[in-house]
Amino acid sequence: MTHFHRVVYDCYRRLGRSFPWRETDDPYEIFVSEMMLQQTPVQRVMGKYEEFLKHFPIVQKLAEADLSSVLKVWSGIGYNRRALYLRNAARKICEIHGGTIPSSLKALLNLPGVGQSTAGALLNFAFRIPTPFVETNIRRAITHFFQIPGETRDGEILSLVDATMDRKNPRTWFYALMDYGASLRRRPEKGEKKEHRHEPFRGSRREKRGKVLRALLSLGELTLEELERETGEERSQLTPLLRDMVEEGLLKQKGEFFLVGE
DNA sequence: AACACGGGGCT
DNA sequence: AGCCCAGTGTT
């Protein structure tokens, strides 16, 4: 038990957070939470998580689901392509792994939408296999405590995570470490890495994509003309955007109609 | 290494 | 209007 451990665990006792996905041991339920939490505030996930599991309680149900039904529940969380990744990951889990969430890093990384961070989180939280990983709260926790520059490479952060993690209690340790990191928001160190800045959301291509998706989810299938009217966007803006969304598998085109699904 | 990808809440 | 927030896939 080092000083670092004492600080982190002490913080956890004082202001550790409780979430539905921290109460379950079901790897599928934890998997869903990790996919939702990518680049998404915890508070927002809280509002959708239980509803999502009510609609898709087990991985087989999600695997069978139409993309439109998944996106209807997902809508509002953001980064809609993650819903497609998640549904497709569920299919792959059913086809290749017999409906069991895989517990090896290699197999997890082969699932769509699962990278180093999500795979690491899953191994620790769902399977209690101690696995170093880096995400924003862990980065903040490590750079703050060890007083290293915010621009420090993930590789170096990762080796510090590896060197300091509590291998006997991986799940609790990473909850504690992430909560410690979360408690440090709002008072960044001098050299804190500036998260790459976004364009304004208003008027952005992202916003247009969101409008298109919402229109198609609520009205079914629409022509280009109808989409122009429903979203209030110009055809010249809509056309390339629709082509990309079809390409990504978010939308499908049947004749002159566009609809949600791949 | 740089980009694209949502959207709600807060100041 | 600008900033923040449990990353991943593509180019």
pLDDT at A246: 98
Mean pLDDT of chain A: 95
Answer whether residue A188 shows pLDDT above 70.
no
Q: Is the CB of A76 under 7 A from strand C?
A: no
Q: How far is the CA of A203 from the C1' of B1 (A)?
A: 27
pLDDT at A187: 58
> Which positions of strand C lie within 7 Å of protein CB atoms?
1-9
Answer whether residue A195 shows pLDDT above 90.
no
Answer whether residue A189 shows pLDDT above 80.
no
pLDDT digits (tens, 9 = 90+) for A46-85: 999 999 999 999 999 999 999 999 999 999 999 999 999 9
CATH assignment, A205-260: 1.10.10.10
pLDDT at A121: 98
Domain locations in chain A?
Answer: 3-183, 205-260
Residue A24 φ then ψ, to 5°? -100, 155
pLDDT digits (tens, 9 = 90+) for A110-137: 999 999 999 999 999 999 999 999 999 9
CATH assignment, A3-183: 1.10.340.30
Task: List Cα–Cα distances, A180 to A15, A194, A197, in angstroms.
Answer: 9, 19, 24
Q: What are the residue ranges of helices labelled H in chain A?
A: 3-15, 20-23, 27-37, 42-55, 59-64, 67-74, 81-97, 105-109, 116-127, 136-145, 154-164, 170-183, 205-219, 224-231, 235-248
